Amino acid sequence: MFKTLLHFTKVLLALSLIVAFDFAVPAQEASRPDRGLVPNGAFSVSDIENINLLNGNVNLNIPLASLPPIAGGKLSWTVSAQYNSKVWNVTRAQVNDDPLTWAPYSQDYPGAESGWRIGDRYFIEFRNANDDFQRLWYPGNSGIPAWELDLINNNQWWKVILHMPDGSEHELRPTDHSPYTGTAADFLKGSYKVIPSGSPMRYYSVDGTYLFARITSQTDWTVYLPDGTQIIQSPAGIQRIQDTNGNKIKIFADANGTHYQDE
């Protein structure tokens, strides 16, 4: 009887740990959940489907049309319909009810993106920290030292995000600058008070994808993939995918739609 009871207690404890883990995982999820194909964290169910092992996102990649591989190389381009099941983002705003007392708290504002995308290209976003967490002006009675008040109040803070055709996002960080170094505003961690604005800056990815980039502006940049492929965006709006042999695929849009050509 004692052995049976002990065995039952162990089983119950194991189940409790599993349940606790299941509830703890969603709590760790970012306000903008990972989408697309995540490096080292996806389980492929079939050729068109994979599941994110961290947040459960289901990503479908349904090929619609393809350019044939360029002669002498493997470079090609496939226009796909992409679906991500995690459509909800949660943005936040800082609120302080009593102007005489500094006791801020945050409010959540969920919002949905479209789950389906067709024929996306690569693009780079300069994301202001206020787009994720709308912060208040920090007053003098907040108890924060003057140097940090200046950091928070008198600067804009940014992250640079590379969006891939599969719907995934990859954060890029500058190699020659330091992020927010204060302690009072944790939501600014990993954000930088500089963004490219006419002079090229060097960036690298932080999620294990080993991407490097040279960015001059949102419309003038080059991203280097681990296999040597380059994604080249020109200010004229033309994007080129170039392999190590110099073969290129040209992507551009006009009044008739988006065009994909091999060069």
Distance from C-alpha of 144 to C-alpha of 57, rounded to nearest angstrom:
39
Whole-prediction pTM value? Answer: 0.81
CA torsion, ordered 176, 155, 123, 230, to nearest 10 deg: -10
- Structural domain including 254 reads 58-262
How many structural domains compose the chain? 1
Q: Quick check: is 226 in a domain?
A: yes
Name the DSSP class of 82: E
Question: Does residue 132 or residue 68 have the better pLDDT?
Answer: 132
Distance from C-alpha of 201 to C-alpha of 193, rounded to nearest angstrom:
13
Q: Quick check: is 27 in a domain?
A: no
Give the pLDDT band of residue 14 (cuts 50, 70, 90). Answer: very low
Classify 242 as helix, strand or coil: strand
Q: Quick check: is 21 in a domain?
A: no
Which pLDDT tens digit goes with each residue over 92-126? Answer: 999 999 888 999 999 999 988 878 888 789 999 99
Which pLDDT tens digit goes with each residue over 25-60? Answer: 344 445 788 888 877 777 777 778 889 888 889 989
Q: What is the pLDDT of residue 72?
A: 66
Q: Quick check: is 148 in a domain?
A: yes
Distances (CA, A) of 189 to 156, 180, 248: 13, 6, 38
Q: Quick check: is 44 in a domain?
A: no
CA angle 114, 116, 118 (to 5 degrees): 125
Q: Quick check: is 16 in a domain?
A: no
Give the pLDDT band of residue 151 (cuts 50, 70, 90). Answer: very high
Q: Quick check: is 150 in a domain?
A: yes
Q: Quick check: is 155 in a domain?
A: yes
